[in-house]
């Protein structure tokens, strides 16, 4: 009986402190591993294509695409780091230790915060491009965008380190047995994270894109009526180009999908902030949040002809040819 009981433990030599293995049907858990691993590989591959495309082809070195590049980096890290960690956590035992558990949670917070920041930058970019197109080239420059992107990632690292300060200084303090990877965020830290990572950014994104939507509809009607210019509110006048309206629509889809994937996770935090991150009901919303990183490049492939064309050039290795950086992608 003792041997049988030992076989059900994560660490059989630690009879009194080891976590028990959960018993799952072998076929079911294998199917789940295959599905999640495929999602991770697809996320890495697609976002790597986005990064190579924007970095390589000179025509794609635009201010908007620099923000998309930053978003693709965060999505790549999700597929490369966070998804494999969650795949490991699908099993009942954690063998990488308490310190690695805390570090990986820190990386998760950094990547998530950076993704939210990138979405806010995308919303600001489209707001200026649509609502004040004449000043857009002067206001949104490549140097300013690069500074904002760097500030976004730096702030994400600093902010996440503060939120998880107790977890980093006392790794494993909330685990009940060996073989468990779990953190517990207290009420104050949870409330701060909820406000700065969800409520404030999402409110800003929704307000900005509501304004973009109203102006874009007005300008689309003006173009259909063959009106060269249309007067808007005194705070911003001008007519955006058709390409800018199309970009606004595409990035609007990206933001809408982002909200669909992120809201369930943070909604569960609103219901119960002081909760174990290892709770069963959290697993689904966590994977939904991570799945957003796979959907973003699929949206680009669906709406952006330049992305489909660049994929063809990358896959066929034509980017290795001389002067391929100057290829006509747009």
pLDDT of 49:
93
Residue 285: how many CB atoms within 10 A of its CB? 18
- Distance in angstroms (rounded) separating the CA atoms of residues 272 and 276: 10
pLDDT of amino acid 121: 92
Q: What is the per-residue pLDDT across 137-185, written as a single tens digit (0 to 9) for each? A: 888 899 999 999 999 999 999 999 998 888 788 776 767 777 777 777 7
For 63, the enclosing helix (H) or strand (E) is helix 63-77
Answer yes or no: is pLDDT of 291 > 60.
Answer: yes
Can you give the pLDDT at residue 44?
Answer: 95
The predicted-structure confidence for 62-86, as pLDDT tens digits, reads as follows 898 999 999 999 999 999 999 998 8
Rounded CA-CA distance 190/197 in Å is 10
Residue 255's CB is within 10 A of a number of other CB atoms, namely 21
Q: What backbone torsions phi and psi does residue 20 show, to the nearest 5 degrees? A: -85, 150
pLDDT at site 247: 67
Q: What pLDDT does 15 receive?
A: 63
The pLDDT confidence band at residue 136, using thresholds 50, 70 and 90, is confident
Q: What b-and-e string marks burial along 290-306, b requiring 16 or more CB atoms within 10 Å of the CB?
A: bbbbbbbbebbeebbeb
Radius of gyration (C-alpha) of the chain in whole angstroms: 23
d(CA 299, CA 68): 12
pLDDT exceeds cutoff 50 at 104: yes
3-class state of residue 184 by DSSP: strand
**12 C-beta neighbours (distance < 10 Å), count:** 13
Angle ∠(207,123,265) on CA atoms, nearest 5: 75
Q: pLDDT digits over 189-242, tens only? A: 878 888 888 889 889 988 888 888 777 777 666 666 654 444 444 444 444 566
State the Cα–Cα distance between residues 324 and 157, nearest whole angstrom.
Answer: 36
Q: What is the pTM of this model?
A: 0.83
Query: Do residues 149 and 66 lie in contact, with contact meaning Cβ atoms separated by under 8 Å?
Result: yes
Question: 259 and 123 in contact (C-beta within 8 Å)?
Answer: no
What is the rounded average pLDDT for all residues in the chain? 80
Q: What is the DSSP string of 275-297?
A: -BTT-HHHHHHHHHHHHHHHHHH
The candidate with the shortest Cα–Cα distance to 310, out of 31, 56, 15, is 56
Compute, in degrees rounded to 10, the torsion defined by CA atoms 224, 228, 231, 232: 50
Report the percentage of the chain scoring pLDDT > 70: 78
Asked if 133 and 219 touch (Cβ cutoff 8 Å), the reply is no
Q: What is the pLDDT of residue 25?
A: 59
Least confident span in 43-57, 135-149, 235-249: 235-249
Least confident of 48-57, 157-166, 274-283, 310-319: 274-283
> What distances in angstroms separate CA 84 from CA 32, 80, 88, one per listed residue?
13, 7, 6
- The pLDDT score that the predictor gives to residue 135 is 87
Beta bridge partners of 20: 9
The reported pLDDT for the residue numbered 224 is 62
**Complete domains list, the chain, with CATH:** 2-325 (1.20.1070.10)
């Amino acid at each position: 009986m003792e041997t049988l009981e030992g076989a059900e433990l994560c660490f059989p030599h630690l009879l009194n402190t080891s976590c028990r293995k959960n018993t799952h049907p072998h076929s079911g858990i294998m199917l789940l591993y295959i599905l999640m691993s495929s999602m991770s590989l697809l996320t890495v591959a697609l976002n790597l294509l986005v990064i190579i495309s924007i970095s390589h082809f000179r025509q794609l070195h635009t201010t908007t695409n620099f923000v998309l590049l930053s978003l693709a980096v965060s999505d790549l890290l999700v597929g490369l780091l966070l998804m494999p960690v969650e795949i490991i956590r699908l099993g009942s035992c954690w063998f990488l230790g308490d310190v690695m558990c805390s570090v990986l949670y820190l990386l998760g917070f950094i990547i998530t915060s950076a993704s939210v920041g990138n979405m806010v930058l995308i919303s600001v970019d489209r707001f200026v491009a649509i609502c004040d197109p004449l000043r857009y080239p002067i206001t949104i420059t490549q140097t300013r965008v690069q500074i904002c992107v760097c500030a976004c990632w730096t702030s994400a690292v600093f902010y996440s380190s503060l939120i998880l300060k107790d977890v980093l200084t006392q790794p494993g303090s909330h685990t009940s047995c060996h073989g468990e990877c779990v953190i517990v965020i207290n009420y104050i830290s949870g409330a701060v994270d909820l406000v700065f990572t969800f409520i404030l950014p999402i409110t800003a994104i929704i307000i900005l894109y509501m304004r973009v939507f109203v102006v874009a509809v007005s300008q689309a009607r003006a173009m259909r009526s063959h009106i060269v210019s249309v007067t808007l509110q005194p705070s911003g006048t001008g007519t955006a180009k058709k390409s800018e309206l199309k970009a606004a629509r595409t990035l609007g889809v990206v933001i809408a999908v982002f909200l669909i994937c992120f809201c369930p996770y943070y909604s569960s935090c609103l219901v119960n902030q002081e909760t174990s991150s290892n709770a069963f009901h959290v697993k689904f919303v966590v994977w939904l949040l991570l799945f957003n990183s796979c959907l973003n490049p699929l949206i680009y492939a669906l709406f952006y002809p330049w992305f489909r064309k660049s994929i063809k050039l990358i896959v066929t290795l034509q980017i290795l040819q001389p002067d391929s950086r100057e290829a006509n992608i747009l």
